[in-house]
Structure 1
């Protein structure tokens, strides 16, 4: 049986989380509703992440990796994951495991009808400042995109791979994945998933890149929407 889903795990200085990632992802592989493999994307980590990733991939056939020469950011890591995926579906989850791999099975229930399914973090276990800044950022983004999504920052999504590969990524566009699927006339869905406190490592985001960065990205999205090329081939000879 061939693989149906690739789960991308972007990694930047997450050495304290990777052993837990291996354990929880292996457990998920045994219960996944689609046959699944894992793709680590090491975004230029400066700690011991790469050595741990290589050991994990050597120990388990379903785990593979690519490693950047230097840090390029989350959007680049997700874009690279899309580029290196060869399964019908692609998803991603953060290495901090504040969302549960098992909840991919919740998202998979909707893949018969939708092209992107994203989680919405219920009862978020983050600080007041982080929650408030995310709420404001999501409100700003919805006003620009009208995508109807409440939590595009949720690090638990699955997307039809052929549509993911057509997304013209730029820095910050990981927040606009549902909107970019809508530009392709795709169908999107959000559904509640669990959320947990971070138990190791540190967050890579601050007030600037949660609020002001997304606001700048909204204007880039509007430019892209105006220029976006979308076509459908009716016949080929």
Structure 2
């Protein structure tokens, strides 16, 4: 499958800058990026599962972006570095949100492709090889493979809120994606860094990738109940933010038609 020339993995720990600087080569095929806020009880087990799923199958690194946690997450990640040499740890100086953590992790990554997981342990790292296999069997125009939690392991309120939000989003954006909220995704680094960045953009990756002229594919994956810590989102807060975001993304799609380009060599 062809791979594009990729930009630099320069690191930004505050709000991300608009453009990464150039880099001659990225040496790894895969980087796993995990944004986390106050997940000290979940991250050690999750990182061990990542290693178990990927070691011996593909060269990889793991980048955990600690979004200024105050629960011992930093200490837990420092301890895991001795056990997991593939682990790199970034830390925000101030709470900046999941989208900023994701962007900074991708910018720092040395992998040509990025797999993402939520830090709460509800995504199963054993599904990453499934996404990689789908990528290898798919058309090169597919640049995002989105996890689809067919069986949710959340409370009834959260499940209903997600169904309503997904229905509204699908009607407005027509992104043909049944589950944009799943934290488990696989995408090309260069494609991601070419997308417009804004807070909460991680919830609209399929629509944004399609807006850029690429295809996306939803892949059924597992989902697990949270075993430690608490959710960082409430249904009302998510809905209020989502209304403004949906309007903004819909505007972006309307105002940015994709033009096919070919080079005239004659």
Same fold (TM over 0.5): yes
Matched, 1:29 2:58: no
Q: Secondary structure at the match of 1:4?
A: strand
Instruction: Give the SS at the match of 1:149.
Output: coil
**Matched residue, 2:70:** 46
Change (3 A) 1:83 1:195: same
Q: TM-score, length-normalised on structure 1?
A: 0.92
Q: What displacement does 1:84 show? A: 1.3
- Structure 2 CA distance, aligned partners of 1:72 and 1:127? 27
**Partner of 2:218: helix, strand, or coil?**
strand
Q: Which position in structure 2 is the counterpart of 1:108?
A: 132
Residue 121 (structure 1) aligns with: 149
Which residue in 1 is equivalent to 2:13? none
Deviates more, 1:121-130 or 1:225-234: 225-234
Deviates more, 1:20-29 or 1:173-182: 20-29
- From the superposition, tell whether residues 75 and 235 of structure 1 become closer, same or farther in structure 2 (CA, over 3 Å): farther
> Is 1:94 paired with 2:118?
yes
The Cα offsets for residues 101-149 of structure 1, whole Å up to 9 and x where unpaired, read as 0101111122132210011102111111000000111111111210100
CA-CA distance at 1:225 after TM superposition = 2.4
Residues 49-86 of structure 1, C-alpha deviation per residue, up to 9 Å, x if partnerless?
A: 11211221243221101110011111111111221122
Partner Cα separation in structure 1 for residue 227 and residue 170 of structure 2: 31
Q: Report the counterpart of residue 153 of structure 1 in structure 2.
A: 181
RMSD (Å) for aligned C-alpha atoms = 1.9
Classify 1:31/1:191 alpha carbon distance in 2 versus 1 (closer, same or farther; 3 Å).
farther
8 Å CA contact 2:36–2:120 kept in 1: the answer is: no
1:210 maps to 2:238: yes
> In structure 2, what is the equivalent of residue 166 of structure 1?
194
Quote the residue 1:79 is aligned against. 103
How many residues in Structure 1 have an aligned counterpart in Structure 2? Answer: 234
Select which of 43, 47, 72 maps to 1:18: 43
**Larger deviation, residues 152-161 vs 55-64:** 55-64
1:139 aligned to 2:140?
no
Structure 1: stretches of 5+ with no match in the other structure: none
